[in-house]
Amino acid sequence: MSRFSKSLQIAAVLIAAAAVPCISDVSRAGAETLYIFYPSTIRPVLMQQKMTESCPGIRIKVFGRFTDFETEVLADKPDAILTKYPVIQQIGGYSVALKGSRKGETEEAVILVSADEKIDLNTISSISIGMFDILGRDGMKKTAAGYFSVEPKLRLVSKIEDMLQILTLNMVKAILIPENHFSYFKELSDMNFAVTPLPDVRTGIIALALKEGGSAVLSVKALTEMDSKSMTMLEVDKWEK
Amino acid sequence: MGKIKQYGRTILVLILMICCMADYVYAKDSLLIIRLEDIALKQAVDGIRSQIRQDFLIVEMIVNADTAENEISRKMKDISPKLVVLMDNAAISLYKKFRKGLPDSSEAVPSVSMMASFMDIMIRDIKNAAGIFYEVPVVTSIVNLRSVMPSVPLKKIGVVHREFMEQSVKTNREYCKKENIELVSQIIPGDDVKSYLEKALNRLRDQNIDALWIPNDNKIVNASLLQSVWFPFAGQFGKPIIVGVEVLVQPKFKFGTFAVIPDPFELGVQAAEIIFDIRDNGWKAEGRGIEPPRSVFKIINMEQAQRLFRIDKEKLSNIDKILQ
């Protein structure tokens, strides 16, 4: 064996050895990762199933609770996250790439829903309000304080249907929901709802954010080419840059 | 000399760091959870931890039938908890025994009790106590059942109960009113349950109820009464039966239609909220009352529901467990 072929053999072994971790890294990491946390009327298990079907090649994980989402995003650092704007801001390290829009709007109105009587916004500091927990206790307190001139007493839930529960069981005076969710509660309940609009409050519907310094080409492509059924599930009709 | 100064500075920084860490550890209020070994109770603890682990130092004490009250006393001395969480009737009873042995003047550490039956009765003689009922209000069950069986009228619901549950039924009646549901009841007087139960059920049927709600009371629902009264009644009733335990909706029994039980993890999250409220209220739990559970698991006996009632299959995605 010539010196050349010997050195080639050594080089081949070295290249192979160096390639092993790369190959195994790729196979371990698998596809691009997209973590989703979006409070909707659809169960996380069902959303995971439907999103996996409509986004081939992407490893998707859907979360029902903010604490689980935050913990796993910080630990796994997925390539992209699909969630509410304030969640993206609180978690950090991700930049918005696509904004979900509905009827041309990327933001939506929120309303206070109560039983029988509207809420006098001047009494907000003395009543309890139910909200879906998207930021944890401290984050939600700050959010609520931003919505109202004073800080109301909050009751946080992590299932949309529990919002109705806390209202029916007199645990809160009102629930704060996106206006878009009101029809869900109307369909579920025979309660005599009273709606108090909050004209000065609008929140971002949903956004896709990419890990800073990374790229999530498949996630961006999957969302922009998403079928209307999946879009409806995410409560949007278009993705905007 | 320079080196000595440098070492001195490093040691000073280390001491400061240790002090800061110690401060951080000791700044956390301690919380003692007294419970039995059980999967659902463990899930409830996980729910509590998910919310309060950054604010409290959590210590768990697993008890069983052999645990004596002096062991609770020892643990309370060791931990000096700011608050105690009691899970299950057995843990609450044990804690009550421990409290009984204390002088009247002793400080009442606030407590939050959960995962126990008839909570109002269980904790009424504990000072500075709050709690969460384990029994799910019937309005929750009906609203959820209505969503999967939109064609079945669910306006008038019947319940059979013993006298001590009168207040609970009254509260449930108020909740039901909000949803335009009427709750009619038949009381079983005294302890002679069997002779009254059959009559009470027939009276409810004569009142044209749309569904029957069966609260978790083992004096009214037990193996003997299930065989002799409940199963034969269910065979003829032909309307939805709502229960509070999964076993009673097993299709093989041809009995319960829909079971609604508390979600243990979310019960823990709810307890955590109460814990924060009590802390913010200067460690005072009085006046809070006992809350109903706000988050549930829904289980349907699909075999019966399909046979007897029309089901909206699209709505089944909101049901946690479907038994065929």
Q: What is the pLDDT of residues A40-80, one digit of tens each?
A: 888 899 999 999 998 989 999 999 999 999 999 999 999 99
Q: Do A166 and B276 make contact, defined as CB atoms within 8 angstroms?
A: no
B117 pLDDT above the threshold of 50: yes
B178 pLDDT above the threshold of 90: yes
Evaluate whether ipTM surpasses 0.90: no
Which amino acid, one-letter code, is at B245? V
CATH of A107-203, one of 3.40.50.1440, 3.90.600.10, 3.40.190.10, 2.30.30.40: 3.40.190.10
Where does the pLDDT of residue B315 fall: very low under 50, low under 70, confident under 90, or very high at 90 and above? confident
The percentage of residues in chain A with a pLDDT greater than 90, rounded to a whole number, is: 78
Instruction: Evaluate the CA torsion angle A144, A149, A151, A157 in order and state its sign.
Output: negative
> Which stretch of A187-191, A201-205, A215-219, B24-28 has the lowest confidence by average pLDDT?
B24-28
Where does the pLDDT of residue B15 fall: very low under 50, low under 70, confident under 90, or very high at 90 and above? low
What is residue A5's predicted lDDT score, i.e. its pLDDT? Answer: 42
B275 pLDDT above the threshold of 80: yes
B32 pLDDT above the threshold of 80: yes
More confident residue, A5 or B21: B21
What is residue A11's predicted lDDT score, i.e. its pLDDT? Answer: 42
What is residue B13's predicted lDDT score, i.e. its pLDDT? Answer: 63
Give the residue extent of every domain in chain B: 10-134+264-294, 138-262+297-323
B95 pLDDT above the threshold of 70: yes
The tokens for A64 are 């029902």
Axis-axis angle for helices A136-147, A66-76 (nearest 10): 120
SS (H, E, C) chain A: CCHHHHHHHHHHHHHHHHHHHHHHHHHHHCCEEEEEECCCCCCHHHHHHHHHHHCCCEEEEEECCHHHHHHHHHHHCCCEEEECHHHHHHHCCEEEEEEEEECCECEEEEEEEEECCCCCHHHHHHCEEEEECCCHHHHHHHHHHHHCCCCCEEEEECCHHHHHHHHHCCCCCEEEEEHHHHHHHHHHCCCCEEEEEEEEEEEECCEEEEECCCCCHHHHHHHHCCCHHHHHHCCCCEEEC
A105 pLDDT above the threshold of 50: yes
What is residue A12's predicted lDDT score, i.e. its pLDDT? Answer: 41
Chain B nearest-CA residue for A43: B318
What is residue B306's predicted lDDT score, i.e. its pLDDT? Answer: 87
Q: Do A169 and B175 make contact, defined as CB atoms within 8 angstroms?
A: yes
B292, B291, B263, B278: which is closest to B55 by C-alpha?
Answer: B278
CATH topology identical between B10-134+264-294 and B138-262+297-323: yes
pTM assigned to the model: 0.86
A164 reaches B (C-beta below 8 A): yes
For the segment B107-136, the average pLDDT, to the nearest whole number, is 94
For residue A135, which residues of chain B lie inside 8 Å, CB to CB? Answer: none
For residue A188, which residues of chain B lie inside 8 Å, CB to CB? Answer: 143, 147
A97, A84, A65, A86: which is closest to A236 by C-alpha?
Answer: A84
| Interchain CB contacts (distance < 8 Å): A and B | 59
Q: Do A166 and B175 make contact, defined as CB atoms within 8 angstroms?
A: no
CA gyration radius for chain A?
Answer: 23
Q: Do B318 and A166 make contact, defined as CB atoms within 8 angstroms?
A: no
Q: Do B294 and A169 make contact, defined as CB atoms within 8 angstroms?
A: yes
Chain B nearest-CA residue for A136: B51
Q: Do B143 and A189 make contact, defined as CB atoms within 8 angstroms?
A: yes
Q: Do B276 and A169 make contact, defined as CB atoms within 8 angstroms?
A: no
Q: Pick from B51, B276, B294: which is nearest to A165 by CB?
A: B294
Average pLDDT value over all residues in chain A: 87
Q: What is the CATH number of domain A31-104+205-240?
A: 3.40.190.10
The percentage of residues in chain A with a pLDDT greater than 70, rounded to a whole number, is: 88
What is residue A150's predicted lDDT score, i.e. its pLDDT? Answer: 85
Question: Which residues are within 8 A (CB) of B173 and not within 5 positions of it... i.e. 6 or more apart?
Answer: B183, B185
Those of residues 31-90 in A touching chain B at CB distance below 8 A are 42-43, 46, 65, 67
The percentage of residues in chain B with a pLDDT greater than 70, rounded to a whole number, is: 92
Question: Which site among B263, B294, B296 would you substitute to test the A interface, given the most A Cβ atoms closer than 10 Å to its Cβ?
Answer: B294
**Model confidence pLDDT, tens digit, residues B1-10:** 556 666 666 6
What is residue B81's predicted lDDT score, i.e. its pLDDT? Answer: 97
What is residue B269's predicted lDDT score, i.e. its pLDDT? Answer: 96
What is residue B12's predicted lDDT score, i.e. its pLDDT? Answer: 64
Protein fold of B138-262+297-323: Rossmann fold (3.40.50)
Q: Which alpha helices (DSSP H) does B28-64 contain, by range? A: 39-52
For the segment B243-248, the average pLDDT, to the nearest whole number, is 94
What is residue B131's predicted lDDT score, i.e. its pLDDT? Answer: 97
Where does the pLDDT of residue A25 fall: very low under 50, low under 70, confident under 90, or very high at 90 and above? very low
For the segment A17-35, the average pLDDT, to the nearest whole number, is 53
Where does the pLDDT of residue A151 fall: very low under 50, low under 70, confident under 90, or very high at 90 and above? confident
Which amino acid, one-letter code, is at B310? R
**Model confidence pLDDT, tens digit, residues B36-76:** 999 999 999 999 999 999 899 999 999 999 999 999 999 99
* C-alpha–C-alpha distance, residues B18 and B36, integer Å: 36
For the segment B19-43, the average pLDDT, to the nearest whole number, is 80
A141 reaches B (C-beta below 8 A): no
Chain B nearest-CA residue for A71: B50
More confident residue, B312 or B271: B271
Q: Where in chain A is the domain with CATH 3.40.190.10?
A: 31-104+205-240, 107-203
Q: Do B292 and A137 make contact, defined as CB atoms within 8 angstroms?
A: no
Question: Which site among B56, B154, B177, B178 would you substitute to test the A interface, given the most A Cβ atoms closer than 10 Å to its Cβ?
Answer: B178
A3 pLDDT above the threshold of 50: no
For residue A158, which residues of chain B lie inside 8 Å, CB to CB? Answer: 266, 269, 295
* C-alpha–C-alpha distance, residues A200 and A196, integer Å: 12
Q: Pick from A171, A187, A191: which is nearest to B178 by CB?
A: A191
Question: Which site among A65, A161, A184 would you substitute to test the B interface, given the most B Cβ atoms closer than 10 Å to its Cβ?
Answer: A161
Average pLDDT value over all residues in chain B: 91
For the segment A147-155, the average pLDDT, to the nearest whole number, is 89
For the segment A178-198, the average pLDDT, to the nearest whole number, is 96
Superfamily of domain B10-134+264-294: Response regulator (3.40.50.2300)
Q: Do B137 and A169 make contact, defined as CB atoms within 8 angstroms?
A: yes
For the segment B164-178, the average pLDDT, to the nearest whole number, is 95
For the segment A137-152, the average pLDDT, to the nearest whole number, is 90
What is residue B307's predicted lDDT score, i.e. its pLDDT? Answer: 86
For the segment B188-194, the average pLDDT, to the nearest whole number, is 84
Where does the pLDDT of residue B288 fall: very low under 50, low under 70, confident under 90, or very high at 90 and above? confident
SS3 B157: strand
What is residue A14's predicted lDDT score, i.e. its pLDDT? Answer: 43
